[in-house]
Amino acid sequence: MGAGKSTIGTRLARLLGAGFVDLDAEIEWAFALPVDEIFRVYGEPAFREMESRLLKQALSVQGRVLALGGGAVLELENRELLRASATWVNLDVDLSTACMRLLDAGKARPLLGSDAELRALYLERAPIYAQAPHRVVAEGDPGDVAARIESLIATLEGRTPAVPASFIPSCRERVELPGRGYDVVIGSNNLDELAAELARLGSGPIALLSDWNVAPLHADKLLRAVAATGRELLQVTLPAGEERKGIGPVLEATDQLLEAGWRRDGVVLALGGGVLGDMAGLVAALCLRGLPFVQVPTTVLAMVDSCVGGKVGVNHRSGKNLLGAFHQPALVWADLSLLDTLPDRYWRAGLAEVVKTALIGDEVLLELLETKPIALLERDPVVMAEVVRRCTAFKAQVVVADERESGARRILNFGHTVAHGLETALGFGHLLHGEAVAVGMVAALEIGHVLGWTERPLIDRLRSILRSLGLPVSAPEPPPGLLSRSMERDKKLVESGITWVLLKDVCQPQQHVLPLSGLEDLLSQLRERGVLLARGE
Which residues are identified as catalytic? 289, 311, 353, 395, 405, 409, 413, 416, 420, 433
Give the residue from 7, 82, 20, 83 showing the smallest Cα distance to 51: 82
Asked if 497 and 489 count as a contact pair (C-beta separation under 8 A), the reply is no
Distance CA 188, CA 205 (A): 26
- Helix and strand numbers (H, E) in the chain are 22, 18
Q: How distant, in Å, are the alpha carbons of 10, 66, 155 from that of 82? A: 19, 11, 19
* HSE value, Cβ hemisphere, 13 Å, CA-based, for 143: 15
CA distance 314 to 476: 25
At residue 313, φ and ψ (nearest 5 deg) are 170, 180
**Residue 11 DSSP SS3:** helix
- Judged by phi (left if over 0) then psi (alpha if -120 to 50, else beta), residue 429 lies in left
Q: Which residues, 6+ apart, have CB-to-CB distance to 157 below 8 Å?
A: none
Torsional sign, CA 366, 371, 374, 379: negative
Q: What is the CA radius of gyration of the chain?
A: 24
Beta bridge partners of 44: none
Between strands 475-476 and 19-22, the pairing is: unpaired
For residue 89, the surrounding DSSP H or E stretch is strand 89-92
Do 152 and 136 meet the contact criterion of CB atoms below 8 Å apart?
A: yes
| Cα–Cα nearest to 527, from 470, 421, 416, 446 | 446
Residue 175, strand partner residues: 182
Three-state secondary structure call for residue 492: coil
> What is the distance between the alpha carbons of residues 88 and 94, in angstroms, rounded to a whole number?
19
Cβ neighbours for 518, distance < 8 A, ≥ 6 positions apart = none
